Amino acid sequence: MTVMKLTMINCWIILKTVTLVSAYPSQQFLPGQVKDGEYLVGGDMIFPTHNMMRGVAQSTAGTRWTNGIVPYVMSTAFTAQQQTLITGAMRNIERLTAISGRKCVQFRPKIATDRYSILIKTGRGCSSHVGQNTGWTGQLQLTLQVSTTPQSSHCMYERTIMHELLHTLGFNHEHQRSDRDSFLTINYANIQNSYVFAFDKLTSANSDNQGTPYDYNSIMHYGRKAFSSNGQPTMVPKNPTATIGVKTTLSPIDIQEIQKFYQCK
């Protein structure tokens, strides 16, 4: 899991199926499409078109929420049960990252004096802006698709919500770390042609690994068959005993990285 240095990134996932093995899609927007003035690249992340063209980058501090507090507005379109699931995921992150009972990060309802906040709403796919994004003038959003029929895809799983909330906190995918080639073999022949871009590797110029080891167990890691065109693995751990994309909560390294990024002691 890496901290992003890039201004304004979104995670935009259109779910076709959701499983504990890989709570991520086999369908997404195609690269090169523009959605609400933002350019879709890198799997499930979106850049504003103007930043994409200029390659704008900023320090990690620009994505850190002030004092580790994430104000939010919850859409009333969610049922009471769905709201409880979302806030439960927030409380779990707070509890797991707390040090000696003191919260490292906190999600709370927006108040009048908050300059930045995240709007948690229903919509198509699972998505979140990455970090506080102090250079962004629009409303930051976290979108969670809800089920309309028993068979329809949705984001109402605690693992998926926690994954999106870590994007909100400023973190990227583990399998796109700048050093991932030392830990993963990417099988490009098995990847759907339209989604090869989902395996783009970040650089040290636009991400910060914070000196932590690669984490196969990160909640931010996709599974072995993500975007597979033939049912075969698209990425294989170089450690033969490692599993990826199966954890349902924060790993110890996820916790460590949040604490380091938010300078919690």
Which residues are CB-neighbours of 4 under 8 A, at least 6 positions away? 60, 63, 130, 131, 170, 171, 172, 206, 207
If DSSP codes are grouped into helix, strand and coil, which group holds residue 194?
Answer: helix
Residues 199 and 188: beta-carbon distance below 8 Å = yes
Q: Tell me: is residue 221 an annotated ligand-binding position.
A: no
Of the residues 38, 94, 158, 164, which is catalytic? 164
158 in active site:
no
Q: Tell me: is residue 173 an annotated ligand-binding position.
A: yes
Amino acid occupying residue 239: N
Pairwise CA distance, residues 64 & 112, whole Å: 20
Which residues are CB-neighbours of 136 under 8 A, at least 6 positions away? 7, 8, 48, 129
Pairwise CA distance, residues 201 & 181, whole Å: 9
Q: Tell me: is residue 50 an annotated ligand-binding position.
A: no
Q: Using CA of residue 189, residue 12, residue 214, residue 179, what is the dihedral sign?
A: positive
Please give the structure tokens belonging to residue 215. 């984490």
Residues 105 and 169: beta-carbon distance below 8 Å = yes
Please state the residue numbers annotated as binding site for Zn(2+). Answer: 163, 167, 173
Please state the residue numbers annotated as binding site. Answer: 163, 167, 173
- Catalytic amino acids? 164
